[in-house]
Amino acid sequence: MSAIAIPTIPAGERRPGFARLVQVELRKMVDTRSGFWLPIGVAAITLITVIITSLVHGGHEATLAHVFANSTFPSAFLLPVLGILLVCGEWTQRTTLTTFTLVPDRGRVLAAKVASSVLFSVAAFAFCLACSAVFAELVGNAPGGAGSISLAVLGQGLLFLIGSMLIGVAFGAAILISAPGIVLYLLLPTIWNALTAAIHALATLANWLALDNSFDRLPRGTLSGSEWAHTGTSLALWLALPLAIGWWRFRTRDVN
């Protein structure tokens, strides 16, 4: 046995680069059965939404801005589910056992999930915009033509989708189990709204901290200063807080 050299780790060895981690996370998002069909479902529903919005208003409201605003809502609803699954799926399917033995720095794994979610949201945004442009022009015969859309609103639309998906990732990281993650993500804002409506003392908080009011208006039109303040505080509650909890839990929890 003395003939066997004791192997060591080469001094200059590098860990897998962040870009590669992001590529792998993007691949994980779509290489499972559910991961494959969910984005296709989102695309199909977006397409249907765009076509209906372009047609149904009799040509009066089917401006590009209007169609685009509506086109983002299916994604804003379903991308968070994808985000939750991206994080919780690993724990529920227990692939954390392999992921973390290949990349022990779990913070990098979560960061790669966040980055890949941003990229995925950008793709969804591009798809929404492309569909809206095509159908508002072709099908929606608004009197003054499809019209244009301001860069500010486009930016807000992008923020709307990125923010939505990251809220899903944040909830997923905080809860780490798929089913409760999705249920809580859907229920908590509703419960919060019910509370603020029922309890007078909380009513003034509603504008500042309710997700649907201050978030859903992002793709609809340029926000004023106070509206930005409301959106910012809401994002802090529904995105930053769960992400902070998730950052801690994802990195420290023992894998079973």
Partner 1 sequence: MIEANSLTKRYGARAAVQDVSFSCAPGTVTGFLGPNGAGKSTTLKMLCGLAHPTSGGSTLLGRPFAEIPNPGRHVGVLIDASAAHGGRRGRETLALSAQLLGVPESRVDEMLDLVGLDKSAARKRVGEYSLGMRQRLGIAHALLGDPELLILDEPANGLDPEGMRWMRGLLRDFASRGGTVLLSSHLLYEVEAIADRLVIIADGRIVAEGTRDELVGKEAMTRVRSADDHALRSALRSFAIDVTTADDGALLAEATAEQVGDVALSAGVALRELGPSRSGGLERLFFDLTQGSGDEVHAPTDPRAALGIADTDTDALQETVR
Q: Read off the DSSP letter of residue 182.
A: H
Q: Which of 162, 157, 165 is nearest to 66 (CA)?
A: 157
**CB 29 within 8 Å of CB 118:** no
Of 217 and 251, the one with the shorter C-beta distance to partner 1 is 251
Is 108 an interacting residue with respect to partner 1 (CB under 8 A)? no
Residue 106 CB, nearest distance to partner 1 (Å)?
Answer: 9
Is 40 an interacting residue with respect to partner 1 (CB under 8 A)? no
Using CB under 8 A, pick the residue from 53, 96, 117, 196 that binds partner 1: 96
Q: How far apart are CA 153 and CA 69, in angstroms?
A: 9
Q: Other C-beta atoms within 10 Å of 96: how many? A: 19
Is 89 an interacting residue with respect to partner 1 (CB under 8 A)? yes
Q: How far apart are CA 106 and CA 112, in angstroms?
A: 10
Q: Which of 236, 114, 215, 100 is nearest to 156 (CA)?
A: 215
Q: How far apart are CA 87 and CA 91, in angstroms?
A: 7
Is 104 an interacting residue with respect to partner 1 (CB under 8 A)? yes
Longest CA span, the chain: 88
Is 198 an interacting residue with respect to partner 1 (CB under 8 A)? no
Is 95 an interacting residue with respect to partner 1 (CB under 8 A)? yes
Of 28 and 66, the one with the shorter C-beta distance to partner 1 is 28
Stretch of 8-16, 38-46, 143-151, 234-242 contacting partner 1, by CB under 8 A: 8-16
Residue 225 CB, nearest distance to partner 1 (Å)?
Answer: 45
| Contacts to partner 1 by CB under 8 A | 1, 4-9, 13-16, 20-21, 23-24, 27-28, 31-35, 89, 93-98, 100-105, 252, 254-255
